[in-house]
Amino acid sequence: MIGSSGSTVLLGLIISTGPAQTSTRPAGPPTVHLVSRIDVKDFGAETLRIGDLNVDGSPELLFVQSLRGPRQITCLTATSLQGELLWQVRKPSVDNGQIYSDLPVQIYDWDNDGCNEVLYVRQAKYVDPAYNGTSVRERASRYQGHATLIVLDGRTGREKGTLALPAPADDCFLFADLTGRGRREDLVVKDRYWNMWGVAHDGRVLWHWAGSTGHFPAIADVDNDGRDEVFVGFALIDHDGKVLFDHDPKGAHQDACWILKAPDNIWRLLFGNAGIHCLKPDGTALWEHPLGEAQHVVAGRFRADSPLQLAVVDRTPEPTHRRDENAWANLYLYDLEGREIWKRQQPRGGWAIATVPADWFGRHGLQTIFVYGHGPGRPAVMYDGHGRIIDTFPMAYTPDRSEADRCSDFYGLAADVWGDERDEIILFGSRGACIYANARPLESPTLYNETLYPGM
């Protein structure tokens, strides 16, 4: 409902909106549908991967638990979309569902045999300093042995193989084509903030780069030579490790980045740190905005009046630049030239929001902006390209949890898990997981005007 002050009340979440942010949800049939509520028992996690594990043609879920301080992966649990347990590697614990950082685990057909594998990194031993049992451990001055990429059979969870990696490379990894294989079968691996390596499919270390890596690189074949370049926010690295440009990070790191080839055929390299920056592939700045802490830079066609727009979160806006229960975030929408289209202030306590582009209305419609992370117990929301909240998604926690558990944090993803051309919303955390679908009728030419004599 809409209050007289111009605020929207959504399932107990009060959002200061002004007239432009009023919900457009019409009266009548529901617009979202809770299609799966998963009892995560003791394997709930704030890290989730999606992929077809049992080769049945539909995706499954992989819950990833870890020790929050050492950032070690402790348990992998594969389930169906309805929560049926497929397999589990190592022992789950209700205490290991929360995360400190990204985790090095992916689902991919690593050996190109038509079946997905689960790949994760087992850390090398941190010799100095040794873990004290309480603090977060991001790096060591001395390691013993090397990190190891573990390859599991996606159907059973049984180990299929291993690959040695540089010892510090235990933060995250992504697949890239660095050697011209025609498929992304090589690896880009990194430590927390300081080093990055290119690794061939057979384990050969192709190159090493030291600098401000940020959280997660982006890859694309920017120079059209059949091999990927790696963008780390302040630098662009060629497939062979050559530095194409490298800007001074000035003590900062990249919080989010995106590479896109716009409809004008010009590549744009976007990243957020203290502000939002847009670069050419040669490192030349196209535009920038000095924000407090720009994160979650995502691109999509959210509006019909321009070919592409950029959604950006500023987590520490003026004037306080705080990150606490009294702080808030701002959600911005920019056009490709860096012009602000709109800004939406989030509720107090919602400083940690994250954004995901979603095909909520199908691949041929306008995209939407899925936003989660408003704080424990608050629902995720869906924005349209005009800055209006059109749907809300409360977390469905595991039954019989305590009241404290039912207000735990959760994360979110958008993925077409039903194969109906529309994304579903997947919420997951240490105390629950659920899947929402768009309940609106899907106007697809394949689902109406059907005939015995196709050809339309």
Q: How confident is the model at residue 456 (pLDDT cuts 50, 70, 90)?
A: low
pLDDT for residue 412: 97
pLDDT for residue 448: 78
Q: How confident is the model at residue 175 (pLDDT cuts 50, 70, 90)?
A: very high
Lowest model confidence (mean pLDDT) among 32-36, 107-111, 146-150, 400-404:
400-404
Cis? peptide before 129, omega within 30° of 0: yes
| Confidence check: pLDDT of 4 > 80 | no
Query: Between the CA of residue 215 and those of 8, 81, 274, 284, 413, what are the distances in Å?
Result: 34, 29, 14, 22, 18
pLDDT for residue 181: 95
pLDDT for residue 15: 32
Given strand 276-279, what is the order of strands in its sheet?
256-261, 267-272, 276-279, 285-289
pLDDT for residue 397: 94
| Confidence check: pLDDT of 231 > 60 | yes
Per residue in 192-230, pLDDT (tens digit) is 999 999 999 999 999 999 999 999 999 999 999 999 999
Dihedral angle sign, alpha carbons of residues 318, 322, 328, 332: positive
| DSSP H or E run through 370 | strand 368-372
Given strand 235-237, what is the order of strands in its sheet?
218-220, 229-231, 235-237, 243-246
| Confidence check: pLDDT of 364 > 60 | yes
pLDDT for residue 25: 53
| Confidence check: pLDDT of 48 > 80 | yes
Q: How confident is the model at residue 22 (pLDDT cuts 50, 70, 90)?
A: very low
Query: Mind giving me the DSSP string for 386-451?
Result: TS-EEEEE---BPTT--TTGGG---EEEEE--SSSSS-EEEEEETTEEEEEEE-S----TTTSS--
Comparison of pLDDT for 447 and 128, the residue scoring more: 128
Do the strands 309-314 and 354-358 form a parallel or antiparallel pair, or are they unpaired? unpaired
pTM: predicted TM-score of the whole model, two decimal places: 0.92
Could you tell me if 53 and 155 are in contact, meaning their C-beta atoms sit under 8 angstroms apart? yes
What is the mean pLDDT of the segment spanning 301-308?
A: 95
50 Cβ contact list (under 8 Å, min separation 6): 59, 60, 61, 62, 107, 413, 415, 417, 426
Could you tell me if 365 and 420 are in contact, meaning their C-beta atoms sit under 8 angstroms apart? no
pLDDT for residue 301: 97
Of 363, 364, 409, 361, which Cα lies nearest the Cα of 383? 361
The percent of residues in the chain predicted with pLDDT above 90, rounded, is 74
pLDDT for residue 322: 76
Of 309, 218, 200, which Cα lies nearest the Cα of 255? 218
Of 312, 432, 318, 442, which Cα lies nearest the Cα of 379? 432
Q: How confident is the model at residue 454 (pLDDT cuts 50, 70, 90)?
A: confident
Q: How confident is the model at residue 8 (pLDDT cuts 50, 70, 90)?
A: very low
| Confidence check: pLDDT of 6 > 80 | no
pLDDT for residue 70: 92
Q: How confident is the model at residue 430 (pLDDT cuts 50, 70, 90)?
A: very high
pLDDT for residue 356: 97
